[in-house]
Chains A and B, each alone.
Chain A
């Protein structure tokens, strides 16, 4: 009977001590180590979310 194959993972040295990080997110950590400060595209998306939230609050609670 075929043994189930483990899912492929990439071993990355996070340094010490970082045992609690999710390896699926490792690429972000590596990218952040190499680039300063954060991926611009992600920051832009988050700023857009904050703007939408602010507009939603203004429309819902502050218009009246």
Chain B
């Protein structure tokens, strides 16, 4: 699968924690060319796997041989693990709940994130300024809180379809506006 991306933008991710959503992680697990190009593009960042994404990647695998391959792949040392510590989990959960309230009040009709998507959004909030997320599900990370840094476009060889992945980051300024709106609503109760 060919990757189409502005390679000059690679320097934007130097020193950043690059989190992969499960859709992108599964895609690079299936395609050598996409995997190599992704490594090249994010070579100055730290590829990081959230524990919940690891869970999502490994669950529901029918073939035993593929399950073993997935376990080998995700355990390789180029992926820096985000620690699943309880103190951090509690903060991520708190972020996730707050973001879900904001999404609802900001009237994002297409935004119906799963629990894992919300927790990942909470993770991005926790690592603001230093974390980015690669995902195909942009609608689960609405523009009222998240910015798009760049798109990664990949051409699927079998049918020529272009798959577009957003590289997102949390925007504190936009969040603060939404949070103030939420507080104003709460004061009216």
Contacts and interface: CB of A to CB of B under 8 A. Distances in A.
A56 B40 contact: no
A29 to B, nearest CB: 6
Interface stretch (B28-36, B140-148, B169-177): B28-36
Nearest to A60: B63
Nearest to A62: B158
Interface stretch (B65-73, B97-105, B110-118): B65-73
A20 B77 contact: no
Nearest to B40: A37
Interface in A38-58: 38-39, 42-43, 45-47, 49-54, 56-57
Interface residues of B, number: 30
B46 A49 contact: no
Contact of B80 (A21, A36, A47, A49): A21
A64 interface: no
Given A32-B46, A38-B39, A56-B63, A50 B29 contact: yes
B88 A20 contact: yes
B82 interface: yes
A22 B65 CA distance: 28
Contacts of B32: 47, 50-51, 54
Interface string B23-53: 0000011111001100110011010000000
A28 B77 contact: yes
B35 A38 contact: no
B77 A25 contact: yes
A30 to B, nearest CB: 11
Nearest to A20: B83
A6 interface: no
B130 interface: yes
B76 A53 contact: no
Contacts of A49: 29, 69, 72-73
B35 A50 contact: yes
A25 B80 contact: yes
Given A25-B81, A47-B32, A49-B29, 9 more contacts: A15-B15, A20-B82, A21-B83, A28-B78, A37-B43, A39-B78, A43-B36, A43-B39, A57-B66
Interface of B: 15, 28-32, 35-36, 39-40, 43-44, 46, 63, 65-66, 69-70, 72-73, 76-78, 80-83, 85, 88, 130
For the complex of A and B, the 3 pairs showing the least CB-CB separation, nearest first, are A37-B43, A28-B77, A20-B83
